[in-house]
Chain A
Amino acid sequence: MNRIDRRFAELKRAGRVALVPYVTAGHPQPQSTVAVLHSAVGAGADLVELGMPFSDVMADGPVIQNAHERALAQGTGLQQVLDMVREFRRQDADTPVILMGYANPIERRGAARFAAEAAEAGVDGLLIVDCPADEADELKEQLQAQGIHQIFLVAPTTTERRLDHAARLAGGFVYYVSIKGVTGAASLDVDALAPMIEKVRGHIDLPVAVGFGIREPAQAAAVAAVADAVVIGSALVDRLDRCDSTEEAVAVTRDFLAPVRDAMDNSVPIQAEQTVRTT
């Protein structure tokens, strides 16, 4: 059984919502990434998302774009990302790892070879930002052969026809992008979330994760009231950007995620009028 499925089944039994931090591999320094992942798990992360650096991150905002540029400048390519996953797995056999990135580096490696190597390294899911369901058939086959789930993004504007298409290919969970725009934009509308998530659930029978635009504990808690998983990316990456050492990165990750975990676990489901706004 894929680790993602197992993890969501456990969470469901425990009545918990998943916390899913995103970090860019190789940022702020290549040697800090694996330690940051362990620190995230220690602070309560249930799954981890690892960004594969790419030169042209069209769907990402300035924070993650900068992280990719810094990672690339320090030589973190696909090979290094897979090595990091392998190293992470030596100490952590259970936490699902999802790779997130863009199509071209995978195209260059070849889908079949990539899928085999990723599976061997211990990858459980793959989210290719610029590969919507329409273009995903070929990759899907290769991933399926290796037991890796393909994760898809859905947006507030995704039509029902497209939701159904994604439903046929998606595995693990579905990633609901909570805002219009790129990663890191600050305009999450928690009120609008519940009906949208219901719409998604009506078409796709998988856990729903919500991401893009969640940056503080109160928001995470509000989202946790309606979703199965909360993804936090830019807010963490932004803090990591200022770290000069692995020790600092590990501490920053822990200090940022622990209160988020706490808020998610201890919040009463919010009322409709308690709208949370970003600053």
Chain B
Amino acid sequence: MVEQALKLKQAETLPDAGGHFGVFGGRFVSETLMPALEELDEAWRFYLKDPDFLAELDRDLAHFVGRPSPLYLAENLTRQVGGARIVLKREDLNHTGAHKVNNTVGQGLLARAMGKRRVIAETGAGQHGVASATIAARLGMECVVYMGAEDVRRQSINVYRMKLLGAKVVAVESGSRTLKDALNEAMRDWVTNVDDTFYILGTVAGPHPYPAMVRDFNAVVGREARAQMLTEYGRLPDALVACVGGGSNAIGLFHPFIEDTDVAMYGVEAAGRGLSGLEHAASLCAGRVGVLHGSRTYLLDDDSGQIRHTHSVSAGLDYPGVGPEHAWLKDSGRARYVGISDAEAMKAFHALTRNEGIMPALESAHAIAYGLKLAAELPKDQIVLVNLSGRGDKDINTVAEVEGIEF
């Protein structure tokens, strides 16, 4: 118990200077990228303590993003489930429709403070691309978004949104033509153009300092939720639930609660067509430790160490790795990771839409699905707090396609 408390105390100070969360994380990148990462690390450490920078960030989060996002008690679903109360953290109400903007506003301001004129980003579902294009438009910066060709097809509406915002969208044709390949391509751009270019990475994966920096920019979710729980419910929740792609919305919610050991944490991965096969994207539930995209973490690969193609109905969870801090939280036992299938997520999508009038992103629908399961097992006096990381407008075409509806 004491040891556990010590370990969790340590969590507050993780990662170490090299970006390690225990054995995870680090900086597994080519030497050519190192100076860029060191420059970024230094800038981030500096501005994280700079009162002017933080004041501007707060102002933008309030007036541009629309924070704080409310907590919402899902009374209808709570009644139907008949167990613990289900409370949603409404990141779907943010400007651009997801938690991703918390991070892009932060990194955008950092890019400007560092004197960079051009920003680049990778995107899967397109949410992070849209959020990056949005902050670039607002700050008057050139923006290039790398997106797997397969995702360009799946998320055509977001591609058009990015173009309207003035971003150039580059369809990446290599590898599996999805998020992981877009990330490779963005890294290549960054090494080549590092003098004037800032790489806005969209999740808590990648080489240090990204996992820590993106966490810090998204931790506003957990800080707000914790304070809102105390004022509105007079107590902390009994469990937190969030979906995990790379893990940014989950870590954003979890991090401020890490030392609250009575609060259980559940990260929900995409179990796709089932964890027993190969068509899923659940690196923590079904993967093993390796090195991908600059950090040591859990990932999905074959026996010769090649990164596998993954599957999820939601493009934002369709990623073969996961942020190293989640790997650490898993191994330390502080958080638990579970899988939700495509079918379960689709069911939850409809359940929330029809019963509460809230259409969730398919990523978030995974968290909703597990939240409903968990609430059903818990007594009525408990509270399950689910991160509703984004709204579902972007997914309408996918939902229609899955259900065989043609417009």
Q: Which of B261-292 contact A (CB under 8 A)?
A: 289-292
A58 x B293 contact (CB < 8 A): yes
- Say yes or no: A54-B306 contact (C-beta < 8 A), given A108-B290, A130-B30, A130-B291: yes
Instruction: Please name the residue on chain A nearest to B304 by beta carbon.
Output: A77
Q: Which of A43-68 contact B (CB under 8 A)?
A: 53-59, 61-62, 65-66
Determine if B35 is an interface residue (Cβ-Cβ < 8 Å).
yes
CB distance from B381 to the nearest CB of A (A): 46
Give A185 to B189 CA distance when docked, in angstroms. 11
Complex interface: chain B residues within 8 A of A54 (CB): 305-306
Q: Which of B164-212 contact A (CB under 8 A)?
A: 174-175, 180-181, 184, 187-188, 191-192, 194
Interface flags for B329-371 (1: CB within 8 Å of A; 0: not) read 0000000000000000000000000000000000000000000
A106 x B192 contact (CB < 8 A): no
Complex interface: chain A residues within 8 A of B299 (CB): 104
- Say yes or no: A77-B188 contact (C-beta < 8 A), given A58-B293, A158-B34, A162-B34: no
Find B32's partner among A55, A77, A180 (CB 8 Å cutoff): A180
Complex interface: chain A residues within 8 A of B192 (CB): 180-182, 185
Instruction: Please name the residue on chain B nearest to A132 by beta carbon.
Output: B31
A134 x B290 contact (CB < 8 A): no
Determine if B301 is an interface residue (Cβ-Cβ < 8 Å).
yes
A56 x B307 contact (CB < 8 A): yes
Instruction: Please name the residue on chain A nearest to B35 by beta carbon.
Output: A157
B29 x A58 contact (CB < 8 A): yes
Determine if B66 is an interface residue (Cβ-Cβ < 8 Å).
no
Give A108 to B296 CA distance when docked, in angstroms. 12
CB distance from A82 to the nearest CB of B (A): 11
Give A69 to B306 CA distance when docked, in angstroms. 11
Find B35's partner among A62, A79, A153, A158 (CB 8 Å cutoff): A158
Give A152 to B289 CA distance when docked, in angstroms. 24
Complex interface: chain A residues within 8 A of B35 (CB): 155, 157-159
A104 x B191 contact (CB < 8 A): no
Give the residue among A62, A103, A162 with the most B Cβ atoms within 10 A: A103
Give A66 to B174 CA distance when docked, in angstroms. 8
B180 x A56 contact (CB < 8 A): yes
- Say yes or no: A180-B191 contact (C-beta < 8 A), given A58-B293, A130-B28, A130-B291: yes
Complex interface: chain A residues within 8 A of B289 (CB): 107
Give A157 to B194 CA distance when docked, in angstroms. 11
Determine if B68 is an interface residue (Cβ-Cβ < 8 Å).
no
* Interface residues on chain B, number (Cβ under 8 Å): 36
Give the residue among B28, B33, B38, B293 with the most A Cβ atoms within 10 A: B28
Instruction: Please name the residue on chain B nearest to A177 by beta carbon.
Output: B32
Determine if B303 is an interface residue (Cβ-Cβ < 8 Å).
yes
Find A104's partner among B32, B174, B181, B305 (CB 8 Å cutoff): B305
Determine if A78 is an interface residue (Cβ-Cβ < 8 Å).
yes
Determine if B26 is an interface residue (Cβ-Cβ < 8 Å).
yes
Determine if A217 is an interface residue (Cβ-Cβ < 8 Å).
no
Determine if B27 is an interface residue (Cβ-Cβ < 8 Å).
yes
B305 x A177 contact (CB < 8 A): no
- Say yes or no: A58-B188 contact (C-beta < 8 A), given A104-B290, A155-B35, A177-B32: yes
Determine if B294 is an interface residue (Cβ-Cβ < 8 Å).
yes
Instruction: Please name the residue on chain B nearest to A66 by beta carbon.
Output: B174
Determine if B379 is an interface residue (Cβ-Cβ < 8 Å).
no
A108 x B305 contact (CB < 8 A): yes
Determine if A109 is an interface residue (Cβ-Cβ < 8 Å).
yes
Chain B contacts to A: CB under 8 angstroms: 18, 26-35, 38, 174-175, 180-181, 184, 187-188, 191-192, 194, 289-294, 296, 299, 301, 303-307
Chain A contacts to B: CB under 8 angstroms: 53-59, 61-62, 65-66, 69, 72, 77-79, 102-109, 129-132, 134-135, 152-155, 157-159, 162, 177, 180-182, 185
Given A56-B184, A77-B306, A135-B296, 11 more pairs with CB closer than 8 A: A56-B180, A58-B187, A59-B187, A78-B305, A108-B304, A131-B28, A131-B291, A152-B31, A153-B30, A159-B38, A182-B192
Please list the 9 inter-chain residue pairs (A to B) with the smallest Cβ-Cβ separation, ordered nearest first. A105-B305, A108-B305, A77-B304, A59-B30, A181-B192, A157-B35, A103-B291, A153-B31, A55-B306
